[in-house]
Amino acid sequence: MEIAIATRRFRCLLDGAVRRPAAWYAGFALYAAGVALFSGRGLDRWWGIWAAGGYAAAVAVAARHGSRGSRGTQAWGLAVAVAGALAAPLVWLATREPVTPDALVVARSGVLLVHHGTPYLQSAVLARGGWLAYNPYLPVMAVFGLPKALGLPGLLADPRPWLAAVTFVLLFAAFRISRISRIGDIPVTPLGLAALAISSPVMAFPLAEGITDPPVIALTCLALALLIRFGGSGWQPAVALGVVCAMKYTAWPALAVLVVMVIVTDGRRAAARFAATALGTAIGLTAALAPAGILRPAAIVANTVAYPLGLTAARSPAASPLPGHLLASLGPVGHAAAIALLLGAGAILVASLMVAPPRNPAEAAKRIALGLTALFALSPATRFGYFCYPLALYGWVALAGYQARRVKFQTLPAEPGPPAGVGYQAAVGVR
């Protein structure tokens, strides 16, 4: 009963928010203004200045014809928000300011891949190259560095516009596949939902600065949307998850959570195929995009495992005052304690999956968000910006996952699983 009441209240709040797009933009503008006022000199302040103006203009456009507004007015408001909070600051920062560390590492990884067959510098170079020599991303991320490696000119060689474009396309695909056309009695479109998502500070802020998390988030949302459409017996969600697992380690908790969900909804055989397809995709892409690195795995481990965990001489500049970093800053004992807590949090996540497994993609998204929150809070090298993951996943639940919450799910027998190609939606009569 309490869950039903909370769900109805949530729907009322969501319907009200969709009816009042100006309220969204006003909240975004306040956040951007805070970034501009309280950030030091640098890229964050420039984004805050541009975005505050863009969101304020979107408020004026959205409020022009009242709280409901016409669909055309809402589209113009979204266009202004995307232009002011993402496109304009991205172009400004990419052409006027020094390249960000994230964009530099991604661009260099593409060049290394083309010329040396691996996106990673070797151990001897890492020892004297400082923290910028390390590449903590997995091989698929090097794809965004290929435009520079291929000699494209100017802004086209910068990873930032490509990161933004791919994120938008993936979000559009996720919302379109989710087949959600209304929130309550409010009509929505995949294009509009994707524009709203990418114009929000959760996505626009990191994309403008070339941070690599948004496409990882968007591809995770696409995998969740594919699960709504095809269920765990389909190969499509597993392949999407495999691709994102070959981009960044932050996607790996999603693999564990979604395999457990598929066990519950489609059976153990389907879950085994799902896991094998996802892992096979990730391994295949890694081998294809780092063929020389496979022969020298020490460099991959040093870049993608030892460096993020603070086990190298060069330390990551990601140092927000969260519990894991504060513990690690106390010395070797504190660092060991942070690692132990991180492992303990992982064990708790696994235990929660055994005791109360998620039964649909919306529940799975929230479990992934909780696991990542613990990971970011306890990691020795972390920053507040990583919390865009749980925020975005909860946003997906509120938008594309809205349909999934309205479906009455049931647990299928673990053995034998349903016939190939029959997911949980077909099993419960959803068309």
- 367-422 pLDDT, tens per residue? 999 888 888 888 877 777 788 899 999 888 887 665 544 444 444 444 444 444 44
3-class secondary structure per residue, 104-139: HHHHHHHHHHHHHCCCCCCHHHHHHHCHHHCCCCCH
**Exposure letters 47-66 (e unless 16+ CB within 10 A, then b):** bbbbbbbbbbbbbebbbeee
- 277-332 pLDDT, tens per residue? 999 999 999 999 999 888 888 888 888 888 887 777 777 776 677 787 788 778 88
* For residue 13, pLDDT beyond 50: no
Count Cα atoms within 13 angstroms, Cβ side, for 342: 25
- What pTM was computed for the model? 0.83
At 425 the pLDDT is: 43
Tell whether omega for the bond before 119 is within 30 degrees of 0, i.e. cis. no
211 near 188, Cβ under 8 Å? no
Mean pLDDT for the chain overall: 82
* For residue 87, pLDDT beyond 60: yes
123 near 304, Cβ under 8 Å? no
At 412 the pLDDT is: 42
Q: Where are the domains of the chain?
A: 21-97, 99-317
Radius of gyration from C-alpha coordinates of the chain: 22
**Which of the pair, 399 or 18, is modelled with greater confidence?**
399
At 214 the pLDDT is: 95
Is the Cα dihedral 9, 12, 17, 20 positive or negative? negative
Count Cα atoms within 13 angstroms, Cβ side, for 414: 7
At 347 the pLDDT is: 87
111 near 148, Cβ under 8 Å? yes
Task: Provide φ and ψ at 290, rounded to 5°.
Answer: -145, 55
Q: Are strands 182-183 and 186-187 parallel, antiparallel or unpaired?
A: antiparallel
205 near 35, Cβ under 8 Å? yes
247 near 216, Cβ under 8 Å? yes
- Give the closest residue to 199 by CA, choosing from 21, 19, 404, 383: 21
d(CA 356, CA 238): 22
- 123-166 pLDDT, tens per residue? 778 877 788 888 999 999 999 999 999 989 989 999 999 999 99
At 125 the pLDDT is: 82
Most confident by average pLDDT, 57-61, 184-188, 400-404, 421-425: 57-61
